Chains A and B, each alone.
Chain A
Amino acid sequence: MFAGIDVGASATKCIIIDENKNELSSAVKRTGMSLRKVAGEVYKEALSGAGLEPEGIKVVATGFGRKNVESADSVRTEISCHSKGCYHHFPRALTIVDIGGQDNKVIRTNVEGKIIDFKMNRKCAAGTGAFLEEIARRLAVPMEEMNGIAESSTQETEIGAYCTVFTATEILSKIREGEKQEDIVRGVFGSVIKRIMEMDPLLGDVVLTGGVAAHNEILFDLLEEALGRGVLRPPKPQFTGAFGAALYAMM
Chain B
Amino acid sequence: MGEPKRKKIRASEQLRELLTQHYEELDEAANDGDKVAWCSSVGPMEVLVAFGFKVYYPENHSALIGARKIADDYIPVANAVGYSPEICSYLTSDIGAFLRDETPLKDAYGVTSIPKPDVLAVNTNQCRDLIEWFSFFGQRFDAPLVSIHPPKYLDDVEEHHVDDVAKQYEDMIAQLEKMTGERLDEGKLKEAVALSLEATELWKAFLDTAAHVPSPLTFFDGTIHMAPIVVMRGLQVAVDYYKLLKAEMDERLENGVAAVDDERFRIYWEGMPVWGRLRKLSDQFVDLKTCIVASTYCNSWIFDDMTPDDPIRSMALAYTKVFVNRSESAKEKYILDEIKRFKADGIIFHDARTCPANSNASYGMPARMMEDHGIPTLTLDGDLNDLRCWSDEQATTNIEAFIEQLEER
Contact = CB atoms under 8 A, between A and B. Distances in A.
B394 A123 contact: yes
A79 B391 CA distance: 17
B72 to A, nearest CB: 15
A77 B408 contact: no
Interface residues of B, number: 18
Give the dominant DSSP class at B's interface. helix
A91 B21 CA distance: 63
Given A114-B409, A116-B370, A117-B370, A76 B394 contact: no
A77 B397 CA distance: 7
B376 A117 contact: yes
Interface string A113-134: 0111111101100000000000
A72 to B, nearest CB: 14
Interface stretch (B55-63, B81-89, B150-158, B399-407): B399-407
Contacts of B180: none
A118 B397 CA distance: 12
B377 interface: yes
A116 B405 CA distance: 7
B376 A79 contact: no
Contacts of B381: 122-123
B101 interface: no
A119 B394 CA distance: 11
A103 interface: yes
A101 B48 CA distance: 55
Band of interface residues on A: 10 to 19
Contacts of A182: none
Contacts of B376: 116-117
Contact of A80 (B377, B393, B401): B401
Nearest to B399: A77
A183 interface: no
A99 to B, nearest CB: 16
Contacts of A6: none
Contact of A77 (B379, B389, B391, B404): B404
B398 interface: yes
Given A117-B370, A117-B376, A103 B394 contact: yes
A78 B389 CA distance: 23
Given A114-B409, A117-B370, A123-B381, A76 B397 contact: no
B387 to A, nearest CB: 11
A77 B400 contact: yes
Contacts of A76: 404
Given A117-B376, A117-B377, A123 B401 contact: no
B405 A115 contact: yes
Contact of A120 (B394, B404, B408): B394
A62 B379 CA distance: 21
A80 B401 CA distance: 7
Interface string A60-104: 000010000000000011111000000000000000000000010
Nearest to A112: B408
A114 B408 CA distance: 7
B394 to A, nearest CB: 6
Contacts of A103: 394
Interface in B200-235: none
A118 B391 contact: no
Nearest to B398: A120
Contacts of B397: 64, 77-79, 120
Contact of A115 (B379, B394, B398, B408): B408
Given A114-B409, A118-B401, A123-B394, 7 more contacts: A64-B393, A77-B397, A77-B401, A79-B397, A80-B404, A117-B377, A123-B391
Interface of B: 370, 376-377, 379, 381, 389-391, 393-394, 397-398, 400-401, 404-405, 408-409
9 contacts: A76-B404, A77-B401, A79-B397, A79-B401, A80-B408, A116-B376, A118-B401, A122-B381, A123-B394
